Amino acid sequence: MKGLHLMQLPREVLLGEDLKGEVVNVARRLGLGEKALILYGPRTKGIAGKDVEDSLKSEYEVVSLTVRKGATMEEVERTIDLIKDESADWVIAVGGGSIIDVAKLASFKTGVPFISFPTTASHDGIASANASIRDLGAKTSVKAVPPIAVIADVKVIKTAPYRYLAAGVGDTISNLTAVKDWQLAHRIRGEYYSEYAASLSLMSAKMVMRNADIIRLGNEESVRKVIKALISTGVAMSIAGSSRPASGAEHLFSHALDMLLDKPALHGEQTGLGTIIMAYLHGMKWERVRETLKRVGAPTTAYELGIEPEIIIEALTIAHTIRPERYTILGKDGLTREAAEKAAKITGVI
Ligand SMILES: NC(=O)C1=CN([C@@H]2O[C@H](COP(=O)(O)OP(=O)(O)OC[C@H]3O[C@@H](n4cnc5c(N)ncnc54)[C@H](OP(=O)(O)O)[C@@H]3O)[C@@H](O)[C@H]2O)C=CC1
Ligand SMILES: O=C(CO)COP(=O)(O)O
Ligand SMILES: [Zn+2]
């Protein structure tokens, strides 16, 4: 239909403590069918997955799948096969961003609803409608569906090492440069721009900046602050119909690192550091970005990220080749080696 803009959003978002047993009630309220497929990872099984599974078994038939290979098409296909073979009515993902994305894409491809039960506050895919799956080449997100419900158990999320929470700040602060890139693409390329989605995304970034001193404490209030920002960023992406409000050149840089390295750092750590450099390129107040990341203990240098300076430079020079249709401050030609080195040195990254 001409002019139609479809925004799909979760129907329930629960944020609180001791919510592992609450899944049953959510499923009942939403009228979900009697057979559930639960996805978890080798670690998140013990962190919350098994408890959620046991609790579900009181009312539902439950099949489980341990995702071992992260956000890959192989795992998505394994999940799809199981949904079909077992005639599962719905899916629940208990884990980090990778497991949530596997469930999200499999759910989209099979048309069964899924519930997002995050165990980390390190990425804004918790409530979003797009899934980042490592397939051939770069791992950029594709359209999928949002979770029918998000159940964020603060106590579970707090079990994750503090580093994950700081990464959540990095993924949120990247909204600042992502929106700048979006505005640039709107002006230069006439790309669709949603002021509403952009404002929501910027608000989330500003909230974490304002609350950096609370977040650094790593307590339950800190988790709540970051989770709210991540969920509203996910909603901003759903409103926009793409990851535009939360993914610009700083994400291209992170995707480039993922391509270059077997063991990259956390997604949010990489995007946070990328934001410092892209903010510098945009002529924004990049020092404020660095200051916030420092304050919450997120990496702001190649050394802290555990990545060789040479790889940082290389990632900066190839970032524009990833998803070339997404116009950013890197332009069509990207950064020269000299420009990349200069930007990384001036911002203190290398
Ligand atoms: N779709 C979207 O809109 C977005 C998607 N993303 C994607 O999300 C992913 C990043 O997610 P992230 O959560 O940072 O990383 P991962 O999902 O890759 O998880 C990393 C590791 O953390 C472990 N883990 C999870 N929870 C805990 C916990 N509570 N305590 C200890 N360890 C834990 C996992 O265990 P286990 O081995 O059990 O799985 C896994 O080994 C990337 O793939 C990124 O592309 C990021 C932003 C937006
Ligand atoms: O990580 C994301 C937003 O934070 C998703 O971005 P991509 O679309 O670049 O994968
Ligand atoms: Zn991200």
**DSSP SS3 for 116:** strand
Residue the block writes with tokens 């994400």: 251
pLDDT per position as a tens digit, 5-52: 889 999 999 999 999 999 999 999 999 999 999 999 999 999 999 999
- Residue 137, pLDDT > 70, answer no
CATH code: domain of residue 131? 3.40.50.1970
Check whether residue 195 and residue 341 sit in a common domain: yes
Residue where the block lists tokens 């579900």: 56
User: Does residue 88 share a domain with residue 67?
Assistant: yes
* 154 plus 167 within the same structural domain: no
Residues 43/8, Cβ–Cβ less than 8 Å = no
Task: Take atom 7 of ligand 1 and give the residue whose Cα is closest.
Answer: 97
Say what percent of the chain tops pLDDT 70: 99
5 found inside a domain: no
- Indicate whether 140 pLDDT > 90: no
Q: Which of 158, 177, 212 is the last residue of a domain?
A: 158
For ligand 1, atom 20, name the residue with the nearest CA.
96
Number of structural domains, the chain? 2
Reported as a single tens digit per residue, the pLDDT across 236-267 is: 999 999 999 999 999 999 999 999 999 999 99
Residue 172 has pLDDT above 90, yes or no: yes
User: What's residue 53's pLDDT?
Assistant: 98
* pLDDT score for 5: 85
Q: CA-based diameter of the chain, in Å?
A: 62
> Residue 134 sits in which domain range?
12-158
Q: Is the CB of 43 under 6 A from ligand 1?
A: yes
For residue range 214-241, list pLDDT tens digits in order: 999 999 999 999 999 999 999 999 999 9
CB burial class (10 A; 0-12, 13-18, 19+) of residue 243? Answer: buried
pLDDT category at 2 given cuts 50, 70, 90 is low
- Of 100, 126, 132, the residue with max ligand 2 atoms within 8 A of its CB, to mutate for a pocket test, comes to 132
Q: Note whether 194 and 333 are same-domain residues.
A: yes
Q: Give the residue, by CA position, lying nearest to ligand 1 atom 48.
A: 125
Per-residue pLDDT at 136: 58
Residue 129 neighbours by CB under 8 Å, 6+ apart? 8, 104, 143, 144, 145, 146, 234, 237, 238
If asked whether residues 126 and 174 sit together in one domain, one would say: no
Binding residues for NAD(+): 97-101, 119-122, 128
Please name which ligand lies nearest the alpha carbon of 130.
1
Last residue of a domain, one of 142, 158, 174: 158
Pocket of ligand 2 (CB under 6 A): 124, 130, 132, 140-141, 171, 243, 246-247, 251
**Residues 141 and 255: beta-carbon distance below 8 Å:** no
Residues 114-141: what's their mean pLDDT? 91
What letter represents residue 234's amino acid? G
What is the chain's Cα-based Rg? 19
Does the beta carbon of 123 lie inside 6 Å of ligand 1?
yes
Domain containing residue 200: CATH number: 1.20.1090.10
Residue 317 lies in a domain: yes
Choosing from 107, 138, 158, the residue where a domain stops is 158
How far apart are the CA of 191 and the centre of ligand 1, in A? 31
Contacts of residue 40, defined as CB under 8 A and 6 or more positions apart, other chains included, come to: 48, 49, 50, 53, 64, 65, 66, 67, 93, 94, 95, 99
pLDDT at 347: 99
